[in-house]
A and B are shown apart, each in its own frame.
Chain A
Amino acid sequence: MDTTTFIIEKGTIIVVVFAITMLMAMYSTWAERKVAAFLQDRVGPNRAGWGGLLQPLADGLKLFTKEEFFPNTPNKFLFILGPGIAMSTALITSAVIPWGDKFHIFGKDVVLQATDLDVSILYIFGVLSIGVYGIMIGAWASNNKYSLMSAVRASSQMISYEVAMGLAIISILMMTGSLSLKEITIQQAEMKWNIFYQPLAFVIFLVCSFAETNRTPFDLAECESELIGGYHTEYSSMKMGFYLFAEYANMFISATILSVVFLGGYNYPGMEWAEQNWGVNIANIIAIAVLFAKICFFIFFYMWIRWTIPRFRYDQLMNLGWKILIPLAVLNIILTGIVMVLFN
């Protein structure tokens, strides 16, 4: 494969993945409102476009045209850097996600993954932990006590839940023996989904992903009834849009990771049969659709939870993280080890 085709191929995939992430994040805002409306016996947005489908565009336009307000802060650079970090970390995670198997086009195999890193999971964890800097820096630079409290809450929450999340994923890694998401996906073919082998790890990971994406019941960093808006209290215009957008992009990424690591990614029952009978390309299109169906299910699940249950208090959140989730995750690792040794 020569360099030009390689650049064209990967460039196209990167642009497409980027566009899809943006699009999913945009339409998650629409979906959030529609799901909330559905759960609350309302109609939801229905003015801009059919069923309110143009609502995200209208919102974006509105945010762009709003006045850009700067609080009386000594550090304007950090104030702008905050949402920038939040947004960019939310978008670069999608680079290592295997969106589908391979297409066979122009006599070539095109793999639907921007890059197949050997340490994809480490990469994702690294990027996710940088994400909290966006919140911390922005909130610190806001020069507002509510924002500061939110920054403290967000960082301690992120740190404690990342530990549990990492420990939960270790048991998966013990089974798969690989940090590559592609490898993990391939190993889950033919319904050998990790959720069946590691239900406890799945539950822990799911709970932690709520905390990582700052959503109810773990939305302490931005709970509007206590901290007004938390870290984005002082933000306006598209800088605030970036924070909100980053939250939805994060939600999309978390849903994707959950589907890839635990629900078999793009695998679906009968994939091999479809490949043999309908050809690689059609089987692969179905695979992509299946992956997105799984992602959409998790996104809906996040929203469902958000509009149903109350949020924790700060100390209860810490208790849950350190006293319940982390011991459970460690226990899960031990159990996995024992089972692996016994049954190999």
Chain B
Amino acid sequence: MSNIVLPAEHRYNKIIQERQNEDGSELAILNLGPTHPATHGIFQNILLMDGERIVEAEPTIGYIHRAFEKIAENRPFYQITPLTDRMNYCSSPINNMAWWMTLEKLLNIEVPKRAQYLRVIVMELARISDHIICNSILGVDTGAYTGFLYVFQYREKIYEIYEEICGARLTTNMGRIGGFERDWSPKAFEKLDAFLEEFPAVWQEFENLFTRNRIFIDRTVNVGAITAEKAMAYGFTGPNLRAAGVDYDVRVAQPYSSYEDFEFDVPVGKSGDTYDRFCVRNAEVWESLKIIRQALEKMPAGNEFTADVPAYHLPPKEDVYQDMEALIYHFKIVMGEVPVPVAEVYHPVEGGNGELGFYLITDGSRTPYRLHFRRPCFIYYQAYPEMIKGSMLSDAIVILSSLNVIAGELDA
């Protein structure tokens, strides 16, 4: 066995030396990560193993910590969206919108109904793409690769819609204070309609492939179960909490961006195990599709895509060249000279995998005084060592991917 795994003073080495098994077997340390393929990002788990069973686990985080909160303190408000993109990069539009909504709360800006609905549509698309990845990767981690590639095409279609809206795919940097930077192109709506038409059949097929598959059920039922009390004590939110049976959804509890206008159910699980998390995410995709359809139906006519906030919304370039006022606003916005009130704001949204919150303190200057991201992955990951204790190595992998811990968001 290799002897250069860990510094000799790690506490597990002591446990190994002290524990004498009757049959003469020894415990062993296994490094799961930081470059293990199933960690989907970079985090390390130091596992104390008894054969295939995990006796204890110690997670290490910070491998892709980029100090976003600190960087944000030195950036004008509108330059912070690119940072939010890179947190949960599977559903970056939700992060972008959450940041704009935080600012709108700070500045007391009323966003027009149509822009709110557009935001709802793009956020639900992001939720679908997030759940597509999470659930199909769960398939990959249990060994079924095909479902992943099969539904991945449709994530691609979602990315094409983003592309029509803002020009970017993964790190979207979408929207502006007050709404969007420009109206959605007709092509975007076309692609959205095509997606809504094709995707349900594919998702149904994906569900059929897994939900009644005996091997998949055996691999996931009662694996990584967490009780509702414990989940709440850890601060779980989103699908992981709902799988444990608590129907907390920020979209219902504190509606934002006109979520109160739409009819949708909050799917809830029972046991909080991996299978329930899988099913809750599956069901949420259907609910998201429902919301998008309603939003398209109820969308007010016109082409209003932003609030009338010239002090915060960049004017069109032609106006800047010809119009005195636009030139002044342009200058002031780009130089970050627009005054903001001194305040403390917290705004939560229902992110792809839990309650994503921005806690913002301003001191009236061009940058935040302090900005804190409430990142659900960071919170889930605390519970991870406890959830995998006593389970097999294979379970640890499956639990990690069903919690949908995304390294970018975990480390921020």
Task: Using CB atoms and an 8 Å cutoff, list the residues of chain A in contact with chain B.
Answer: 36, 39-42, 72, 143-146, 148-149, 152, 216-217, 219, 223-226, 228, 307-316
Contacts and interface: CB of A to CB of B under 8 A. Distances in A.
A143 B1 CA distance: 6
Contacts of B254: none
A41 B151 CA distance: 10
Contacts of B28: 145
B139 A310 contact: yes
B149 A40 contact: yes
B365 interface: no
B146 A313 contact: no
Contacts of B30: 145-146
B149 A217 contact: no
B394 interface: yes
By Cβ-Cβ distance, the 7 closest A-B pairs, closest first, are A311-B143, A310-B142, A310-B144, A40-B149, A310-B143, A225-B141, A225-B38
A137 B395 CA distance: 27
A337 B302 CA distance: 82
A40 B218 contact: no
Interface in B1-41: 1-2, 5, 28, 30, 36-38
26 contacts: A36-B146, A40-B146, A40-B150, A41-B149, A143-B2, A144-B2, A145-B28, A149-B52, A223-B143, A225-B141, A225-B142, A225-B397, A226-B38, A226-B141, A228-B37, A307-B146, A308-B144, A308-B146, A309-B215, A310-B142, A310-B215, A310-B216, A312-B219, A313-B218, A313-B219, A315-B392
B-side interface mostly: helix
Contacts of B395: 313
Given A223-B394, A224-B37, A311-B143, 10 more contacts: A41-B153, A225-B38, A225-B397, A226-B394, A228-B37, A307-B146, A308-B146, A311-B142, A313-B219, A313-B395
B2 A228 contact: no
B60 interface: no
A309 B144 contact: yes
Nearest to B216: A310
Nearest to A307: B146
A302 to B, nearest CB: 14
Contact of B392 (A225, A310, A313): A313
Of B5, B28, B51, B144, chain A has the most CB atoms within 10 Å of the CB of B144
Interface in B205-231: 209, 213, 215-216, 218-219
A175 B30 CA distance: 50
B346 to A, nearest CB: 38
B140 interface: yes
Given A149-B393, A311-B215, A316-B218, A225 B143 contact: yes
B145 interface: yes
Contacts of A308: 144, 146, 209
Interface in B304-320: none
Interface string B134-158: 0000011111111001100100000
Nearest to B141: A225
Contacts of B216: 309-310
Nearest to B145: A307
A148 B1 CA distance: 9
A310 B149 contact: no
B356 to A, nearest CB: 27
Contacts of B36: 228
B394 A314 contact: yes
Nearest to A72: B2
A217 to B, nearest CB: 6
Given A143-B2, A219-B143, A316-B218, A309 B149 contact: no
B1 A217 contact: no
A228 B33 CA distance: 10
A39 B144 CA distance: 12
Contact of B150 (A41, A143, A226): A41
Interface in B95-153: 139-146, 149-150, 153
A104 to B, nearest CB: 48
A217 B215 contact: yes
Contacts of A148: 1
A312 B1 contact: no
